[in-house]
């Protein structure tokens, strides 16, 4: 038995090695499982919609009579898959990227400043020549300090730098950032690591993620309506077709309930400017300890939260500071009749 298995195993190993040579990304188990999940998700979409078009003759007739109806459905189908891949490939806003961007901006300013100094010193007959490597090292040093200063400014005075330095990346984390062990990087406004998308959801792509869930829910609902219309139509058809459709309808209904709840949950955290991580681990996060449950420390009011989420968060360099004790006190103040009239929760 062992002798029979060994040649087969050898053939499999050789085939895998050849496959990894052509597609190097498959050699990494994490990327491999992420790719398999993406293929499975696209496959599920194709099966659910494909079965409908294969079995439902009425739908084909309807497509010929009212082509816009099916065209709209197919448009939503394609848009959902595009949104899925765009979200999966988008950056959640890695702290290291922002730090590098800040460093580049600062080095540009420092270079300009040094060039001006060099030009002005020529008048006095003394020219300072800059060695490339040396200046780079100096700039890196000064930039890492400026990044530290910038991050320190976001915390209350007296906070130790050690409390917000990531022990894995060795970078200072701005408030609300967290190290993701799957991505092995710190993520700005870390929400969660999405296994289906194979990426983190953070400040840079939370907006896209919300739109993806929204489109997926709409597509699921529309597909379910088409399934119910097929099953309730008074047409003679094979029993196994009904069985397949009922099984897929059960699967669709479960997925739809999950998607709808997810959409509601993310809409709630967007309106209150929270993240899933902050909501779930509220008692364990140092900057949220001691804040009453109903107080949302980063909320600017539902309307402003929505505006920042939709429009003003195109830049991932928009870092939020921790609220002061006075601001927290103001937020914990109980609602009065005047607050209801002035829409305190919205503005
Ligand atoms: Zn980290
Ligand atoms: Zn991650």
Any idea which residues carry the catalytic annotation? Answer: 194
Q: Give the ligand whose atoms come closest to the C-alpha of residue 170.
A: 1
9 within some domain: no
Q: Answer yes or no: do 175 and 294 share one domain.
A: no
pTM of the model: 0.80
**What's the pLDDT at 124?**
46
Task: Please report which confidence band the pLDDT of residue 317 belongs to, taking 50, 70 and 90 as the band edges.
Answer: low
Residue 28 has what DSSP assignment? S
What's the gap in Å between 182 CA and the centre of ligand 1? 11
Q: Answer yes or no: do 204 and 79 share one domain.
A: yes
- What are the b/e assignments for 115-146, b being 16+ CB within 10 Å? eeeeeeeeeeeeeeeeeeeeeeeebeeebbeb
Q: Give the ligand whose atoms come closest to the C-alpha of residue 185.
A: 1
Q: Answer yes or no: do 203 and 70 share one domain.
A: yes
Q: Give the ligand whose atoms come closest to the C-alpha of residue 204.
A: 2
What's the gap in Å between 254 CA and the centre of ligand 2? 26
| Residue range of the domain that includes 112 | 95-185
Structure-model confidence comparison of residues 341 and 90, the more confident one: 90
What's the gap in Å between 286 CA and the centre of ligand 1? 17
**What's the pLDDT at 325?**
81
Q: What percent of the chain stands above pLDDT 90?
A: 40
Reply yes or no on whether the pLDDT at 2 is more than 60: no
What's the gap in Å between 200 CA and the centre of ligand 2? 4
Ramachandran bin of 290, using left for φ above 0, alpha for ψ from -120 to 50, beta for the remaining angles:
left
Task: Indicate the angle between helix axes 302-310 and 239-271, nearest 10 degrees.
Answer: 110
Domain count along the chain: 3
Q: Answer yes or no: do 259 and 283 share one domain.
A: no
Provide the sign of the torsion angle of the four alpha carbons 96, 97, 100, 106, taken in this order: negative
């Amino acid at each position: 038995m062992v002798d029979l298995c060994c040649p087969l195993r050898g053939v499999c190993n050789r085939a895998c090695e050849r496959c990894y040579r052509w597609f190097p990304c498959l050699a990494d188990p994490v990327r491999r499982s992420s790719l398999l999940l993406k293929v499975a998700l696209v496959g599920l979409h194709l099966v659910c919609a494909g079965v409908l078009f294969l079995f439902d003759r009425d739908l084909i007739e309807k497509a010929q009579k009212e082509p816009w109806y099916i065209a709209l459905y197919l448009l939503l189908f394609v848009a959902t898959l595009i949104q899925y891949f765009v979200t999966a490939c988008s950056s959640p806003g890695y702290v290291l990227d922002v730090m590098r961007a800040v460093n580049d901006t600062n080095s540009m300013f420092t270079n300009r400043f040094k060039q001006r100094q060099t030009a002005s010193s020529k008048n006095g007959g003394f020219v300072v020549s800059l060695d490339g490597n040396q200046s780079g090292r100096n700039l890196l040093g000064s930039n890492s300090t400026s990044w530290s200063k910038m991050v320190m400014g976001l915390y209350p005075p007296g906070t130790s730098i050690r409390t917000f330095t990531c022990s894995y990346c060795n970078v200072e984390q701005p408030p609300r950032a967290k190290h993701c062990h799957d991505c092995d990087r710190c993520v700005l406004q870390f929400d969660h690591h999405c296994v289906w998308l194979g990426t983190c959801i953070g400040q840079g792509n939370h907006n896209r993620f919300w739109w993806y869930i929204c489109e997926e829910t709409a597509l699921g609902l529309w597909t379910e309506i088409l399934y119910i219309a097929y099953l309730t139509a008074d047409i003679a058809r094979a029993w196994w077709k009904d069985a397949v459709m009922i099984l897929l309808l059960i699967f669709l209904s479960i997925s739809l309930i999950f998607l709808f709840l997810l959409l509601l949950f993310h809409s709630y955290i967007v309106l209150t400017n929270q993240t899933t991580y902050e909501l779930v681990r509220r008692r364990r996060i140092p900057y949220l300890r001691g804040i009453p449950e109903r107080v949302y420390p980063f909320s600017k009011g539902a309307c402003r939260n929505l505006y920042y989420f939709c429009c003003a968060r195109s830049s991932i360099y928009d870092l939020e500071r921790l609220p002061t004790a006075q601001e927290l006190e103001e937020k914990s103040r109980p609602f009065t009749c005047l607050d209801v009239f002035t829409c305190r929760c919205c503005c």
